[in-house]
Amino acid sequence: MTPPTQALIASPVENKISTTSVKSKSGNCDCSSSKSSQTSAKSTLSESMMERVAKHPCYSEDAHHHYARMHVAVAPACNIQCNYCNRKYDCANESRPGVVSELLTPEEAAHKVMVIGGKIPQMTVLGIAGPGDPLANPEKTFRTFELIAAQAPDIKLCLSTNGLMLPEYVDRIKKLNIDHVTITINMVDPEIGTKIYPWVRYNRKRYTGLKASQILHERQMLSLDLLREADILCKVNSVMIPGINDEHLVEVGRVIREKGAFLHNIMPLISAPEHGTHFGLTGQRGPNPKELKKLQDECAEGNMKIMRHCRQCRADAVGLLGEDRSQEFTKDKFMDMAPTYNLEARQVVHAGIDLLQAELQEKKAKVTNIQKTVASPKILVAVTTKGSGIVNQHFGHAKEFQIYEVDATEVKFVGHRKIDQYCQSGYGEEATLEEIISSIADCKAVLTSKVGNCPQESLRKAGIEPVEAYDAIDTVAKEFYAKFLQQEDLLQQAPY
Ligand code: CLF
Ligand code: SF4
């Protein structure tokens, strides 16, 4: 890692890459010790398209390691009812259910953006995703976008909606240079829609039954056509509801691809009785990680780009997708902070991130691929990371694992698993460890910057190799894979 890159990148993410090779070391139970490739659709995108998504953490899997987004909760009302939402919480089409965000006026929201734009220069995208539907609150939504566009020209504007009112606003969206729009589409067959949407309010009238889903479907299809004609990038979110639309989502993927959607984000239904939603109260379950991955893989076969790094964030989310810094910027705190947004300072930080990304690419290219053989199975590995595409987080500090699928030629991000932090006040929680290990039972290794003796032992007992390293995720994963193959004695079967 060259010194200039280090100098250019601002905290909070440490980016120093060591060249030390992967090794398993002994640690100790006190994990507070002081030592401190993904395969995006990039390769298939045109240069201009790459440029458009390069700094958007949701539209580019690579960007999500480096760039942050923030949401402002300015839109309380909604015009449809989804069976996985009870409206006391944030819009579940873009959020983890059960979360309530602090409602802001457009002026408060703009102030918050200027504060965070200064404090977190990696924040490149401002999204409006609730707590209701942004286009059921058009004046508040567009006033917020206008204020931010005028003050922070380098921040991308992003909007997420159920699509019912989108056709009315495509011109306004284009005029404001909002280049990223998400529509949540859970069906392209209104019969299936009747099991998801009890009612829709459209043109001051409330519709129920099949008619409600027909209206929503027609409006969503029209929205896709209009966005494509206006050359606005469109991502489609779909909530996977086992037994209702899980098999149907492959068809949804086919239709949205034909209509020009850029990316398909299949999110798991999160449903619990305490959320008070129809699905929560009637016992409708969500998919498990295996079912979700299987469906994502099936949809990817239809040649649709699939988003696998969504974190179902809240309507006032702040930070990298895997982290939640919203509590640092609650209204009582940010209203007392002076805006320190500075375009030039932000550009310097972004240039540093460009350099780091180039270095990571270079490193990735240097790691020799193991010659692919019939005997090079795909395996999963779990990674602890604070971002930047580097294995740079202690096992005990992780609140999620990033999961990568590795084979002889590819290290592919396939998802994440949320966990409770193992290390609490410097000590490991044994009960938590068991749950953590069971959440990655299908992984062959955990790649981490540091892991204590006790968790190492438990991981090995569960057949998961603890690998300590501080390097690019691709590099560490490939090196582990080579060792794994040797161990499995598979290399000897290779025809070279
Ligand atoms: Fe926000 Fe959504 Fe824009 Fe991203 S989130 S409005 S596209 S800036 Fe991203 Fe969050 Fe998933 Fe949404 S991780 S819930 S996909
Ligand atoms: Fe809830 Fe969002 Fe559905 Fe409206 S669109 S009912 S806010 S999940």
DSSP per-residue string spanning 61-126: TTGGGT-EEEE---B---SEE-TT--SSSS-TTTS-TT--PPP--HHHHHHHHHHHHHH-TTEEEE
User: Which residues are bridge partners to 415 per DSSP?
Assistant: 403
Percentage of the chain exceeding pLDDT 90: 65
pLDDT of 133 > 70? The answer is yes
Rounded distance from Cα 61 to ligand 2 centre (Å)? 26
The predicted-structure confidence for 395-454, as pLDDT tens digits, reads as follows 999 989 999 999 988 898 998 888 888 887 667 777 788 889 999 999 999 999 999 988
Confidence check: pLDDT of 491 > 80: no
Pocket of ligand 2 (CB under 6 A): 78, 80-82, 85, 87, 91-93, 132-133, 162
Mean pLDDT of all residues in 375-404: 90
**Reading across the β-sheet that carries 123-128, which strands appear in turn?**
306-307, 263-268, 233-240, 180-184, 156-161, 123-128, 68-71, 318-319
Q: How confident is residue 486, by pLDDT bands cut at 50, 70 and 90?
A: confident
**Quick count: other Cβ atoms within 10 Å of Cβ 416?**
19
Q: Which ligand is nearest to the CA of 320?
A: 1
- Judged against a pLDDT cut of 60, whether residue 35 lies above it is answered with no
Centre of ligand 2 from the C-alpha of residue 470, in Å = 42
Higher pLDDT, 493 or 232: 232
Which residues touch 395 (CB under 8 Å, ≥6 apart)? Answer: 31, 384, 422, 423, 446, 448, 450, 451, 452, 455, 466
Q: Is 40 in the pocket of ligand 1 (CB under 6 A)?
A: no
Across residues 241-269, what is the average pLDDT?
Answer: 96
Instruction: Report yes or no: 317 and 324 within 8 Å, Cβ to Cβ.
Output: yes
What is the pLDDT confidence band of residue 344, given thresholds at 50, 70 and 90?
A: very high
| Ligand 1 binding pocket includes 181 (Cβ within 6 Å) | no
Contact 266, 309 (CB under 8 A): no
* Cβ pair 75, 133 in contact under 8 A: yes
Q: Tell me, what's the pLDDT at 464?
A: 94
pLDDT exceeds 90 at position 485 = no
* Residue 316, pLDDT score: 87
Strand partners, 450: 394
Between 65 and 425, residue with greater pLDDT: 65
pLDDT in tens, 81-113: 999 998 777 777 766 656 767 899 999 999 999
Ligand 2 atom showing the smallest separation from residue 79 Cα? 4
Output the six-digit token pair for 63: 């960007």
Closest atom of ligand 1 to CA, residue 64:
13
**Coil vs helix vs strand at 157:** strand
Rounded Cα distance, 18 and 10, in Å: 18
- On whether the CB atoms of residues 261 and 224 are closer than 8 A, the answer is yes
Q: Residue of the nearest CA to atom 2 in ligand 2?
A: 91
Nearest atom in ligand 1 to the alpha carbon of residue 129 is 6
Residue 208 pLDDT greater than 60, yes or no:
yes
Q: How far is CA 223 from CA 25, 58, 92, 303, in A?
A: 55, 20, 20, 22
Average pLDDT rounded to a whole number, residues 349-358: 93
From the CA of 131, how far away is ligand 2's center (Å)? 8
Higher pLDDT: 324 or 53? It is 53
